[in-house]
Amino acid sequence: MSSNQISFEDFWKVDMRVGRVIEAAEFPEARLPAYRLQIDFGPELGIKESSAQITKLYRPEGLVGRQVVAVVNFPPKQIGPMLSEVLVLGVELDDGRVPLLTVDREVPVGSRIS
């Protein structure tokens, strides 16, 4: 196994879930342009907060109601005055835009990515 490969056991340790953005707002306290998101992951995980640097492609009002994919088992990270609890996943393009990873059909919030 090369140094950049991981085992399937390592992959299964990463808990990625589908959540629904229920609130999105500008986050002026962040070092880089970002939004502050509240994401509902269903009854098992509840509502989690995240900071996301996705301002080049999205507006807060267009994020509310959208299903997103996030890693939910990283330790919380302090970002300015907020504690980011989950990592919302996207694709970082060369020009700094970040399209979000999502699902192509509506699924129950809290569903695990496999």
Closest CA to 70 of 53, 48, 55: 48
- The pLDDT assigned to 3 comes to 75
- pLDDT at site 2: 64
- Predicted confidence (pLDDT) per residue in 68-77, tens digit: 999 999 999 9
Mean pLDDT of the region 52-65: 97
**Tokens representing residue 96 in the block:** 């700094």
Q: How far apart are CA 68 and CA 89, in angstroms?
A: 8
| Per-residue confidence band for 1, with pLDDT thresholds at 50, 70 and 90 | low
Q: What is the mean pLDDT of the chain?
A: 95
Domain ranges of the chain: 8-88
- Confidence (pTM): 0.92
Topology, domain 8-88:
OB fold (Dihydrolipoamide Acetyltransferase, E2P) (2.40.50)
